[in-house]
Amino acid sequence: MTDELLKDASHRMEGAITALDEELAGYRTGRASTALVERLHADYYGSPTPLNQMATVSAPEPRTILIRPWDRTTLSKIERAIQASDLGLTPNNDGEVIRLNFPPLTEERREEMARQVAKRVEEARVAIRNVRRDVLHALDREDLPEDDRFEAKEEIQRLTDAFVGQADAHGKRKSEELHEV
């Protein structure tokens, strides 16, 4: 039973790291990345739809994202979704495509984004520790010998430490990317 709990804990902690990576991909680092807009949702015939399901999103130049909707009637809705987002970008709509031009990041904006990255990393740490707490509670409910319980708790802590270290490393790498000029 403890092996199943450990596998479940590992799987859930990996999920927290994956979610963190997806969140961090959305922070721009001075280079255009399609991941910034793919998570945005625009109204498409009454339902919020991810942008990558409504249009082709590409980065033809290092500081430009090009959004070419499959249905040109959705251009204004995509444009509104971008303006409503926290990207801080102004979309340029030419009637066929939307262009997003990325100005160089100011030092103030870099610091603000670094704080947001730190906040996301802390949320991932909390998620990982919550998994640990859940597994420890499940272990306490199991009828195990004291030595096995102690060994399982130590293994859970090692797993937690490893995944928290991964989250910290991912956050540090993204923060360094943000501070590159």
pLDDT tens digit string along 68-126?
988 888 888 888 888 888 777 788 888 888 898 877 777 887 888 888 889 999 999 99
Q: In which region does residue 65 sit, left (phi positive, over 0), alpha (psi from -120 to 50) or beta (all else)?
A: beta
* pTM recorded for the entire structure: 0.69
Give the CATH fold of the 2-25+106-179 domain.
Topoisomerase I; Chain A, domain 4 (1.10.132)
Tokens 């590159």, residue? 180
For residue 134, is pLDDT > 90?
yes
The domain made up of 35-101 is a member of CATH 3.30.365.10 = no
Distances (CA, A) of 63 to 28, 29, 100, 135: 10, 10, 8, 45
What does the domain layout of the chain look like in residue ranges?
Answer: 2-25+106-179, 35-101
